[in-house]
Structure 1
Amino acid sequence: MKLTVDQRPWWQRHLVVIVLSVLGTGLLLYSRAEWSAMHRWNRAVGDMSIVLVALAMAIGPVSRLWRGSVRFLPYRRELGIYAILLALAHAAIILFGWVTLDLMRLFGFEFHPGLQRYVMVNHGFALANLIGLLALLYGIILAVTSNDYSQRRLGNNVWKFIQQGTYILWWLTVLHTAYFLFLHFLDYHRQTPDPNWAQWPFVALVASVVALQFAASTATWRKSRLKRTGMAKAE
């Protein structure tokens, strides 16, 4: 039986991912009702962004393990686009709500009244936000080129090379998120809040994507090995 990808119009795929994003963000907001509005929205859109990236990363390996899922491959494009839009919203909330447009604070500096200058007070915050900024910038490149026009203009080889950078985006996002889930509030001079409930779901999400990629790579290697063995026997 010939397996085909989802042939529905592009706008329907966009609608599906929009609905998924809105529902997911709403649930994440509800799960942190006791937080301040800024931090609720900050984490909700940020967490939903990484969920969409994880789904985009998982579709490829799943399609190699279960051929019936090949029809979902086109959704990788829409998942990536809305993941970046949510990441932009996440960045905007941090800039306007957390560091209040003070870019020095974004990179771990605070103004010291006695010294009358900025001093570094949070090295981890600086590194995590730099990683997040790199992920966002690269994600924008991926989102802007995730269309048929860019594929035609760039050529198939160049376009594929750029889009393979999704793996870079994924791991930068994982590192950025891991810092804020596990490390940011461990400074000795600050009160440590209750553990974020998203810590272990995040670990499970990352582990699932890695496991799927490993399983798909192993399955592909075995098929290739069996094919080579069969060709050798035929000779």
Structure 2
Amino acid sequence: MSHPPFSPAQARAARIGIGLTPEQVVSAMAQLGVHRPVEIVMCWESGAVAPSEAELFALASALWCPVPTLMARQPRSLREHRLARQFSAERLALRIGMDVHEYARAENEHRWNGTDRQTLVLADALGLEPGELLRVIGGAGELDGLLRQAVEGRWKQHTAPLARLVDAPERSVAQALRTLAQEYASFNERYMGHLVARNENARLKEIATERAAWLHALSDRFLHLVGHDTRGRA
């Protein structure tokens, strides 16, 4: 497996920030069962080599800082969320009740095939809200597609599939879809009204732009309406 994302500059800043010497860092890591020479800390900080997952976890603990700080980015992929919570692939697979090779394949191929129960345990273990969970396991595209079909057609027939996808009560999903369908219809009515009245093209473009922005944020709007947090969406 490739080395995890790592920022030499952040590692050095974190060490200096709490006043530790490289010798003290390796001593703290040794207490965690990861024994490395002092030179390795200097190599990490210079960018000559990158730490392994186990070394990254030990270094973060030794420096009293979150793993994402040393990665110098907020986690987005399944692997990065796992690293942020300091899970090895084996430990997380055991936690969710999945074969470790199957889990590793999900990370490497960016394709999640876990059961509903495994997915729920994964979300709990990694602290993922529904919106972020869908993006991490590749369900965001499916959500966007279903929502567009719902607002552009007969939304009622999409209630059950969407409720299963986001693990929400069908009643809440139905209410959200009704609201979204009404908002989408309002855009169309305004556009057609200006078109029939032969208003200037600038106004038509303005409405079209508003509708495009609304569609872009459709999943976030839907998750908000059904009561799910949408933090972290790009």
For the aligned pair, the TM-score class normalised by the smaller chain equals under 0.3
Relative contact order (C-alpha < 8 Å, sep 6+): which is higher?
A: 1
Greater helix content: 1
Could you state the TM-score of these two structures normalised by the residue count of structure 1? 0.25
Could you state the TM-score of these two structures normalised by the residue count of structure 2? 0.25
Q: Whose radius of gyration is greater, 1 or 2?
A: 2
